[in-house]
A and B are shown apart, each in its own frame.
Chain A
Amino acid sequence: DGGITQSPKYLFRKEGQNVTLSCEQNLNHDAMYWYRQDPGQGLRLIYYSQIVNDFQKGDIAEGYSVSREKKESFPLTVTSAQKNPTAFYLCASSPMGTSSQETQYFGPGTRLLVL
């Protein structure tokens, strides 16, 4: 777990503003994921990436964008098109090609609040 970091811990967004959440891992994991957590709804998948320069939409991708230019980094941008962005955002990573490839390890999260 300690190999996945997210920043900032808290982020405030003004209406109409795009904000970017950082996620970095030094575990040499190939796959990375972004989840959104709202009270009483569990974790919902926003985007995931299996390899550099490739990513796939999850269940709630509208209003979000990602990039994967480096294996270690998977930033998430919350765009102004996301009308209800207040939530706890969790980044995760997992190895591939091993017996434990499904196991996902989470970062500490970023809490996004709208001003």
Chain B
Amino acid sequence: GENVEQHPSTLSVQEGDSAVIKCTYSDSASNYFPWYKQELGKRPQLIIDIRSNVGEKKDQRIAVTLNKTAKHFSLHITETQPEDSAVYFCAASRGTSYGKLTFGQGTILTVHP
């Protein structure tokens, strides 16, 4: 089955800096890659996703890049703010009709004012 590895497990940055979280996956048939943000005690919220026919996608301060050949994808957050502090999860799936997702272990991002 699919295996998703996520790094780093913790990331600490100063407000205004950029943050990058990287994930690798094992199943070459995976073609859908979402990123979720989870605040303490809350539900995961989808923040951005990318499909394999696209190499990069951007939404304001958040961007995701995908390298299918190397089987890795990354989340980039620019101009970080304290409210970006949360746990971020990457995931991968084959995009089949039942959308079974395999999640990475998560990255705890702390943005210091």
Residues of A within 8 A of B (CB): 1, 31, 35, 40-45, 48, 50, 56, 58-59, 90, 94, 96-97, 101-109
9 extra interface residue pairs, beta carbon distance < 8 Å, beyond A31-B98, A102-B32, A105-B46: A1-B43, A42-B6, A48-B98, A48-B100, A50-B97, A50-B98, A102-B93, A102-B99, A106-B44
Give the interface residue-count category, chain B. Answer: 20 to 34
| Residues on the B chain within 8 Å of A35, using CB | 103
CB-defined A-B contacts under 8 Å, sample of 13: A1-B45, A31-B98, A40-B9, A45-B100, A45-B102, A48-B100, A101-B95, A101-B99, A102-B101, A103-B34, A104-B46, A104-B99, A108-B42
Residue among A41, A96, A109 making CB contact with B98, cutoff 8 Å: A96
Max chain B C-beta neighbours (<10 A), residue from A1, A42, A50, A96: A42
Contact B99 A42 (CB under 8 A): no
Q: Is B89 an interface residue (CB 8 A)?
A: yes
A96 in contact with B97 given A40-B9, A42-B104, A59-B1 (CB within 8 Å): yes
How would you classify the secondary structure of chain A's contact residues: helix, strand, loop or mixed? loop
9 nearest interchain CB pairs?
Answer: A102-B99, A106-B43, A42-B103, A43-B103, A102-B32, A42-B105, A50-B98, A106-B44, A102-B95
| Residues on the A chain within 8 Å of B42, using CB | 108-109
Q: State A2–B21 Cα separation when bound (angstroms).
A: 28
Contact B99 A94 (CB under 8 A): yes
Contact A43 B44 (CB under 8 A): yes
| Residues on the A chain within 8 Å of B34, using CB | 102-104
Contact pattern, B 82-113, Cβ under 8 Å of A = 1, otherwise 0: 00000001000101011111111110000000
Q: State A107–B105 Cα separation when bound (angstroms).
A: 20
| Residues on the A chain within 8 Å of B32, using CB | 102
Q: State A104–B32 Cα separation when bound (angstroms).
A: 12
Q: State A111–B32 Cα separation when bound (angstroms).
A: 29
Q: State A107–B45 Cα separation when bound (angstroms).
A: 10
